[in-house]
Amino acid sequence: TPIMQATMLSIPDLIKKKRDGNALSDDDIQFFLQAVVENNIQEAQTGAMLMAIFMKGMVATETMALTKAMKLSGEVLSWPEEWAGLVVDKHSTGGVGDKVSLVLAPALAACGLKVPMISGRGLSHTGGTLDKLESIPGFNVSQPFPKLRSILAEVGCVIVGQTVSLVPADRILYALRDATSTVESLPLITGSIISKKAAESLNSLVLDVKFGRSAICKDLASAKALGESLVTAGNNLGMNTRAVFTHMSNPIGRCIGNSVEVIESLETLKGKGPSDLMELVSTLGGVLLVMTGKVSSLSEGGRLITESVTGGAALAKFQAMMVAQGVSNENAQSLCSAQADYHRILRRADHQTELRTHTQGVVMEIDGLVLAEVLHQLGAGRTNAGEPINHSVGAELLVSLGESVNKGRPWLRIHFESPALTPDQTSRLEGALTLGGSGDKPLRGSLIEEMIPPM
């Protein structure tokens, strides 16, 4: 091929070039990815290149070339001309109880935008949007492109998984990054996230970059390094891209798991959602409404998103999306009705147990990471891609931050099946709750820290 002739370097030469800390050319990167996708490379060589990139890093031009070549490794979606400027998406770097997409996608559709949300599954402690939706009987996250386009035309939002033809380079590299301990590499994370979004041919993308104890980035500085890399790559590929930095220590909302988070999302779409979840939905949605020129200010955008949720327009979109993606009319209607009996449709775990407070005090903090890790062990998450999970396993918080509680007050309900909670898991869960004295106030105000570029 012309690229092979232009490069004239073998795969071992390319690995050596990166291993020794030199920058790879655009042709080098394209040659490497072509070999990966066409399977003209040994797995050991791909792993060695990933480790070289992990150890030596990449300069901005390399990251850009990597992201662009990954995007072009497969099909790139195209949309009708009349949707110009309206195609948007949101990506979160992952948190605990992060059900924002389930509320935000239909809210954006209700505001007239098109949302082709290509989402992920849960790995390690972060829950995947697809896993949550698959706890709804019949919901199909695999839709061929013509069907995806028709759902977007009719409903305005669709939430699906990555197809075989979309960014195949990422699917191969992602699995190997997991196996070679090269997941936390800035250029590789940037390439993976932005190539998939660029293949959606978006006009605008907002990134929810989370930081704190329950996030991948533990502090604001590392979140900013990631956010800046993502924003630069997105803008360079022709997508209007912004990052919002948000706190992620306590769980978002009150539910963690799959079925239980669907229930909380539906309650939110009925106007009864927790304030922290609504803050994230209205801010991220408001940013996209400003970016697409639908509104002139963030406050106006946030108000429109909130009204679409509290007024029922977003719920109607969610109901239509469920039906379009395979849920029966009857079940979709029943889940969206005012007095829904959720567990008639969504499977409830066989056992529930409640944890009680050991002392009185003010709820200062709830460690989301501990809750997520224990639920993962109980079957709510997966350690390896492709493993089955139990959608009914989850947790419900029965107290709020800043609330005064007496000794013996139930504060957490765990939904479990088999395995049952071990004494060690119970004591870990008990340690996740921090109570303060009567005059204490929890630190958390707004979850939103800042944005780049600022608004």
Question: In the structure, what pLDDT confidence band is assigned to residue 6 with cuts at 50, 70 and 90?
Answer: very low
pLDDT tens profile 31-50: 999 999 999 999 999 999 99
Q: Is the pLDDT of residue 234 over 60?
A: yes
Catalytic residue among 99, 125, 177, 415: 177
Summary mean pLDDT of the chain: 93
Tell me the torsion sign for CA atoms 9, 13, 15, 21: negative
Catalytic residue among 17, 18, 71, 91: 91
Cα–Cα distance list, 165 to 38, 73, 383 (Å): 13, 9, 25
What is the pLDDT averaged over residues 63-91? 97
Question: In the structure, what pLDDT confidence band is assigned to residue 9 with cuts at 50, 70 and 90?
Answer: confident
What is the pLDDT averaged over residues 444-448? 84
Amino acid at 281: V
Is 334 noted as a catalytic residue in this protein?
A: no
pLDDT tens profile 331-355: 999 999 999 999 999 999 999 999 9
Q: Is the pLDDT of residue 235 over 50?
A: yes
Of 258, 261, 255, 248, the C-alpha closest to 214 is 248
Is 91 noted as a catalytic residue in this protein?
A: yes
User: What is the value of pTM for the model shown?
Assistant: 0.94
pLDDT tens profile 393-409: 999 999 999 999 999 99
Of 215, 247, 265, 274, the C-alpha closest to 398 is 274
What is the pLDDT averaged over residues 50-66? 97
**Total residue length of the chain:** 455
Q: Is the pLDDT of residue 174 over 80?
A: yes
Catalytic residue among 101, 192, 249, 282: 192
| C-alpha dihedral (209, 213, 215, 221), degrees to nearest 10 | 40
Catalytic residue among 196, 242, 317, 376: 196
Helices (H) and strands (E) in the chain, counts: 18, 13
Is 428 noted as a catalytic residue in this protein?
A: no
Q: Is the pLDDT of residue 211 over 50?
A: yes
- Can you list the positions of beta strands (E) in 273-409? 351-356, 361-366, 394-397, 404-405
Q: Is the pLDDT of residue 383 over 80?
A: no
